[in-house]
Copies of this chain bind each other. A is one copy, B any other.
């Protein structure tokens, strides 16, 4: 491979679940793509970093000051669903069942990785709690870190007089929320238990 090809293949190989051989194939594919399509691809990469910022309310990704979920007046303002990341938010939204608010934590508590509550969007969550908010649903992944985060948030929020619930263990332990099937995910939301 030429140096330019090696460089592109290395970029592909740095992405998750793309191995060395797949990366080389993708680089060859790019070489055979139309110039305009490659340009679109390159611009899309840069655009994502340029255009996307955090919603000032829920901290989810958006391209405006406030995301479409937070600015939707039709949605229930009495409940906030706390998720680890945007992928989990999209998975729940994909059910077309939940009509409350969201809050994106951008991670979970993980002492082994040096991630404490201060690294998460917890402060921003606290600032959203007012008399309108009746319930906070903690929808972190069913992992050790997700559980620890749920426990932490439960202890933090309950004294403030808000109901704190956790998704039911219908989810397969150790999995990630975004790959759960719709029924399991919705059952977990329905069967949520108080922390």
Which positions in A face B, CB cutoff 8 Å?
1-5, 7-8, 10-11, 14-17, 22, 24-31, 33, 35, 37-49, 51-52, 61-63, 85-87, 90
Contact of A27 among B4, B46, B48 (CB under 8 A): B48
Contact of A30 among B4, B31, B48 (CB under 8 A): B48
Q: CA–CA, A51 to B8, complex, Å?
A: 12
CB neighbours of A41 from chain B (8 A)? 11, 45
Known: A37-B14, A49-B35, A52-B31. A8 touches B87 (CB 8 A): no
Q: CA–CA, A97 to B24, complex, Å?
A: 22
CB neighbours of A40 from chain B (8 A)? 7, 11
Q: Summarize A's interface: helix, strand, loop or mixed.
A: helix
Closest to A106 in B: B32
Taking a contact as CB atoms under 8 Å apart, the answer to whether B39 and A4 are in contact is: no
Q: CA–CA, A24 to B41, complex, Å?
A: 14
Taking a contact as CB atoms under 8 Å apart, the answer to whether A46 and B38 are in contact is: yes
Nearest CB of B to A91, in Å: 10
CB neighbours of A11 from chain B (8 A)? 37, 40-41, 44-45
Taking a contact as CB atoms under 8 Å apart, the answer to whether B31 and A61 are in contact is: yes
Taking a contact as CB atoms under 8 Å apart, the answer to whether A4 and B47 are in contact is: yes
Nearest CB of B to A102, in Å: 14
Nearest CB of B to A164, in Å: 27
Rank and list the top 4 A-B pairs by shortest CB-CB distance, nearest first. Answer: A42-B42, A8-B44, A11-B41, A4-B51
Q: A14-B37, A17-B22 are in contact. List 6 more A-B contacts (CB 8 A).
A: A8-B44, A10-B44, A11-B41, A28-B86, A33-B49, A42-B42
